[in-house]
Amino acid sequence: MENLTAACIVLVVLSGCVTRAPVPEYKQIRCKQLLQRTEYPALREIQRVQARTEAVQLGCYN
């Protein structure tokens, strides 16, 4: 049990050390997906708004 607790603490610490900037390849793919979702007419408006919001957070419109 102590080993599991220690492992969890290590993972939390290491995850905090990872940069918040998205990997460029991931960002490119995710932006493409999000921008397609913002224009897809079959999606409900709330889903398009969520896609736009995430796209702005990723910097897809820059």
Environment class of 51 (CB within 10 Å of its CB; exposed 0-12, middle 13-18, buried 19+):
buried
pLDDT in tens, 3-61: 767 666 666 655 555 556 668 888 899 999 998 888 888 888 888 899 999 999 989 98
pTM: 0.54
Domain ranges of the chain: 22-62
